[in-house]
Structure 1
Amino acid sequence: MRIPNLERRSFYLRLIYALCLCGATWTHLQVALVHGLWWDYGGVAPLTRVYWTSLLFIDPLTVLLLLLSPRAGLILCVAVIGTDVVHNSWFALHHPIRMDLYLSQIVFLLFVAFTVRTAWRGATSRSAALRAVD
């Protein structure tokens, strides 16, 4: 069965988003493996600790949703990268940060912002995707 172009582009965009989020998951996993889930990140505010640690679980959930329930995954992806950049921008005003990671988040946010409309338009609901396979 041939997949229409828009659906194919949506899938490829969601796959790129998922790969980027897998990279973010790897970063959060390394922190958890070295310092544990309850690390205070050098004494940062409790809500920052909770937010950063929660990304260890939210990022892979977003990856799964991008592949299994595309529109829910896209909504969560935009929410995750949007809040991450906003939070880390605020954090950078008060603390030193790793500029390479921060800039990569901004680039990812811009990529998502400029492509999410195409990803959304070509995304089908999970039930429609399953019917297409039948």
Structure 2
Amino acid sequence: MFQILWVIGFLIGTTTHTADLILGGLDVYGGFPPGVRLFWVTLTVLDPITAVLIILRRRSGIVLGIAVIVADIAVNWTVFVLLGGLSWFGVINQSLFAVLILATARPLWIRFGRSSTRERADAGRAA
């Protein structure tokens, strides 16, 4: 269940940033500082990579997912407070998703480890 929620959340991020780029072009975030703009465009790649790694049950997806969401809420809350231009709805929902990620990372880590160990053992027997 946690795995599905992670994938859905990161695919929502993928869809949001992809739609922004399609509709607004590379200058879609033009009213924001260059570093923020670059970060948001980069999420168009990082979010789907995270989703794929989680689908594949890779622990690296958990690490990347935590890094992405923590960086994303830090950037978005900083922009929200200092510059404006972001909605309460977005920053609150994203923060709730971050809580979900942080609260479920350990159980997912354990689950992925068990599976990975089992898969390696099965592969070793087949060889």
- Shorter-chain TM-score above 0.5: yes
- Matched AA of 2:107: T
Aligned ranges 1:1-134 → 2 under 5 Å: 12-36=1-25, 38-39=26-27, 41-96=29-84, 97-124=86-113, 126=116, 128-129=118-119, 132=122
How many pairs are equivalent?
Answer: 122
Cα distance in 1 between the residues matched to 2:118 and 2:17: 34
CA contact under 8 A between 1:63 and 1:73: conserved in structure 2?
A: yes
Structure 1 unaligned regions, length at least 5: 1-11
Query: Taking CA–CA contacts closer than 8 Å with sequence separation of 6 or more, which of the two structures ends up with the larger relative contact order?
Result: 1
Structure 2 unaligned regions, length at least 5: none
Cα distance in 2 between the residues matched to 1:109 and 1:49: 21
Q: How has the CA–CA distance of structure 1 residues 122 and 50 changed in structure 2, closer, same or farther, with 3 Å as cutoff? A: same
Cα distance in 2 between the residues matched to 1:39 and 1:75: 30
After TM superposition, what 4+ stretches of structure 1 lie above 4 angstroms from structure 2?
Answer: 125-128, 130-134
- Matched AA of 1:62: T
**What SS is found at the alignment partner of 1:116?**
helix
- RMSD over equivalenced CA pairs, Å: 2.0
Cα distance in 1 between the residues matched to 2:120 and 2:15: 30
Cα distance in 2 between the residues matched to 1:17 and 1:29: 18
Query: CA-to-partner distance for each residue in 1:47-88, whole Å, 9 max, x for gaps?
Result: 101000000011000011112252000000000100001111
CA contact under 8 A between 1:68 and 1:126: conserved in structure 2?
A: no
